[in-house]
Chain A
């Protein structure tokens, strides 16, 4: 019996808007339709089908890293985790496609970090605050409502929670 080799094309990319990833697995040439479907079946099982599949593990890993980042820097990262869209999955005759993302608007800022910046009001920024927490502001605005022309915001450190999880996923697929 002649040996044949079948190539499986694997592509995992980062998306930035919204922050997330797309995964494509294709079997462009197969000796027969049955072989192709069998290959795709097993790829589908490993990546997205089975319990505790690789994509699921990757997302868990991203969330764990995000939580650690949140603890370390004192940010509440739960809203980002809650904005996770779930894994969208589709399959056609020669390929499977999966994508997942975090739609929360700060997800990208936490992933990539931001530099110090200034936010300018149009024309004013209004904050309600607790006098106990901000004694300096309370002197200027005794009514616990501050009106400011601009605020200077310090930047966020980079977390890389999605990119690290994708690099690990890429390795796991390379090895299996």
Chain B
């Protein structure tokens, strides 16, 4: 369990509940193969999930912890830390039984979905309350934005990293 991942998924709850009922957004903890369906937590039956099935159920935003960097500061040996969490947004076009549709008629415009999710995260860019175990953060940034949709014909995908910057009191 990583507090940053849990916190991000919590922050995205509002985006998920604002989705149209026919085209839900599932939130996934990629580290533990946990899926949040609206507000209920559903453990994935198989951790090696077959995503084509999932993406025909809903659009998916998934979060996974990547790495931490420590720099010692001060005389009491505390750390200045940076933690990186990867966020991935995926969907499949409605013509392939997914929930992405530019017109908004048979799905959600992917552009809007990405913007809503980024906005929800960046709204908390100062002093995000994502820390635990002595970690406290002063800021978060997004980095390495990557639109990978053009690589796949019917699949939409947008990746970015969230960089948490702060301190760890030991």
Contacts and interface: CB of A to CB of B under 8 A. Distances in A.
Given A112-B157, A160-B86, A171-B82, A166 B144 contact: yes
A109 B66 CA distance: 19
Interface string B135-170: 000000001111110111001010101010000000
A108 B148 CA distance: 9
Given A14-B144, A112-B146, A115-B51, A167 B151 contact: no
A115 B52 contact: yes
B115 to A, nearest CB: 18
A1 B62 CA distance: 54
B51 A16 contact: no
A166 B141 CA distance: 14
A115 B161 contact: no
Contacts of A171: 69, 82
Interface in A93-127: 108-109, 112, 114-116
A170 B150 CA distance: 27
A118 B84 CA distance: 33
B134 to A, nearest CB: 21
B51 A167 contact: no
Interface residues of B, number: 24
A163 interface: yes
Contacts of B145: 13-14
Interface string A135-176: 000000000000000000000000010011011101100010
A17 interface: yes
Contacts of B50: 116
A16 B146 contact: yes
A115 B143 CA distance: 23
Contacts of A109: 151
Nearest to B92: A115
A164 B66 contact: yes
Given A115-B52, A116-B51, A171-B82, A160 B66 contact: yes
B67 interface: yes
A17 B69 CA distance: 29
B71 interface: yes
B144 A163 contact: yes
Nearest to A21: B144
A116 B143 contact: no
Contact of A170 (B71, B143, B155): B143
27 contacts: A13-B144, A14-B143, A14-B146, A16-B147, A16-B150, A108-B148, A108-B151, A109-B151, A112-B146, A112-B148, A112-B157, A115-B51, A160-B66, A160-B86, A163-B146, A163-B161, A164-B66, A164-B67, A166-B144, A167-B66, A167-B67, A167-B143, A167-B144, A167-B161, A168-B69, A170-B143, A175-B71
Interface of B: 50-52, 66-67, 69, 71, 82, 84, 86, 143-148, 150-152, 155, 157, 159, 161, 163
Given A14-B145, A166-B144, A167-B144, 16 more contacts: A14-B143, A14-B146, A16-B146, A16-B150, A16-B151, A109-B151, A112-B148, A112-B157, A112-B159, A115-B155, A116-B50, A116-B52, A160-B86, A166-B143, A167-B161, A170-B143
